[in-house]
Amino acid sequence: MNNGVNFPTVIRKRVNVKSFSGGYFKGGNSKLSGVENCELSYNFNYFDGTLRRGATVTQYNVFNNNIIFGGSVQNIYFYPYYDHENDCRDDRVLVYASDGYLYSSPMGGDFMVHSEYKFKSAPNAISYNYLDNDVMLISHEEDGLFILSKNTLTKVEGAPAITSLCIHNERLFVTVAGKGTSLWFSDDFDPTNWSISLEEAGFIDFSNSNGKLLRVVSFLGSVYVFAEHGISRVTAYADQTEFTVDNLFCSQGKIYGNSVTVCGDFIVLLTTSGFFKFNGIDTVKILGEYDTILGDIQNSNVKGVFRGTELYFKVRLYVANRINDVVLVYDVIKNNSYLMLNFGVLDMCFAGGRMNGVWATSSRFGISVCLISPNIYQTKVEKYWKSPPFDLGIKGKNKRLTRLSLYTKTEVTLTVTADNKKLVYNLKGGGQEVVKPALKGEYFTFELLTTNKDPEIYDLNIDVEYVKEGDYVY
């Protein structure tokens, strides 16, 4: 008989997190994920596995703000313009201010107010070449249809109450206010002619169970109509008697019309059931990791802008313990995404030519237009990453966290939590940092916070030890 003491066997384990690229956990129970995932993260880009700065928003002084807007800048549009008189490009930015007026400016020029008309709210606008001149077609469901030709804003009489518009085969296709189940189209090569006839303008009735028509886009050689609960394709030839309609998709969730964004050869849209990708025929669910924080939040002011391989999506999510306006940055090639928070983005547009980039208006910058870019260094932007509760792959056992190391280029605040006990470390950066928390618990949570303009954080190593169950000597 051995009356000796107990000698438990201590097992030591190291968990190496080589990549943070997992992004938001895509499952239901976050405790089933790993540290490569995050429970919450904003303003960090982790696409290559390292936590780096994400895109930021900054005032970009390429315009001479020589006038005081009669309110804050709200919406922004790109006006591609070719100056035939001087044989050069003279692209412009068009903005809508809270005073109800439109303002425009060429790059490096002065903003001018288009005082011919005051709008009740922000209009829709698209570019068009009309009578061999680059113009903007500007529509508002109450105020009407307008043509902006360089500096002159002219109202089009007799146009329907337009809620959404696109150009296809030299016709203007529009959804209209009211009952909202008719798709109207203008005369060939003339967006000012709305006289109904087989040779001029006309409309198609969509009286079906898909509800009100919300958005119309020209995509892959056809016109696509997005209703509250479905998508239809209109094959529109020059001869309107040959128009055909196919119903392609019925959605249980309600589609947000403003979310419909063409991304090359597919479209991304948001519904009350989450994000979807549409290729012209089939629709598949994407970005399901955000379903929980989308919840039942109202997102009628959602907006998407596509540039290169990245989709910038202004959307409302439950982030940082409250409903926030964020920009979701989704790389369609890498199939990964991250969130931009606390930039106050109101509206966005893509601009080509010399202005190449994603332009925005922001509540943080009031009367200025802004640029969204991953190449902007901005110091006082909080960047945050938090892991889900993590058992380190050792289920049902209490463990002691003996050592934690990571490489960080800059200063960062590390917070380690276990069983409601929290330790905070202010790391200076410049290489490998090592801490020895000696915290005990079954699940551990790790948080990283920095306001540095150019962080790089990677190679997280977590050392724990625990007692092998039942391994005693009697």
Helix (H, G, I), strand (E, B) or coil at 61: coil
pLDDT for 374: 84
Instruction: Tell which residue, 6, 5, 2, has the closest CA to residue 472.
Output: 6
Q: Beta-carbon neighbour count of residue 142 at 10 Å?
A: 10
- As a whole number of angstroms, the distance between CA 248 and CA 255 comes to 14
Per residue in 29-58, pLDDT (tens digit) is 555 556 788 999 999 999 999 999 999 998
pLDDT for 376: 77
pLDDT of 24 > 90? The answer is: no
Contact indicator for 154, 144 with CB cutoff of 8 Å? no
- Spatial neighbors of 293 by CB under 8 A, at least 6 apart, are 317, 318, 319
Contact indicator for 207, 181 with CB cutoff of 8 Å? yes
Fold of 56-378: Methylamine Dehydrogenase; Chain H (2.130.10)
pLDDT of 261 > 70? The answer is: yes
Among 64-73, 249-258, 271-280, the minimum mean pLDDT is found in 64-73
Q: Beta-carbon neighbour count of residue 329 at 10 Å?
A: 21
Q: What is the CATH number of domain 10-53+384-467?
A: 2.60.120
Percent with pLDDT over 90 in the chain:
73
CA 95, 96, 101 angle in degrees (round to 5)?
A: 120
Note the residue count of the chain.
Answer: 474
pLDDT of 318 > 80? The answer is: yes
What predicted TM-score, i.e. pTM, was given to this entire model? 0.92
Q: Give the model's confidence band at 62: pLDDT under 50 very low, under 70 low, under 90 confident, else very high.
A: low
Beta strand residue intervals within 120-221, DSSP E = 124-130, 133-140, 144-149, 152-156, 162-168, 171-176, 182-185, 202-205, 213-219
Taking residues 423-450, report their average pLDDT.
96
Contact indicator for 222, 262 with CB cutoff of 8 Å? no
Per residue in 282-295, pLDDT (tens digit) is 999 999 999 999 99
Q: Give the model's confidence band at 470: pLDDT under 50 very low, under 70 low, under 90 confident, else very high.
A: low
Percent with pLDDT over 70 in the chain:
93
- Spatial neighbors of 409 by CB under 8 A, at least 6 apart, are 429, 430, 454, 455, 456, 457
pLDDT for 71: 77
pLDDT for 27: 57
Q: Where are the domains of the chain?
A: 10-53+384-467, 56-378
pLDDT of 474 > 50? The answer is: no
Contact indicator for 351, 364 with CB cutoff of 8 Å? no
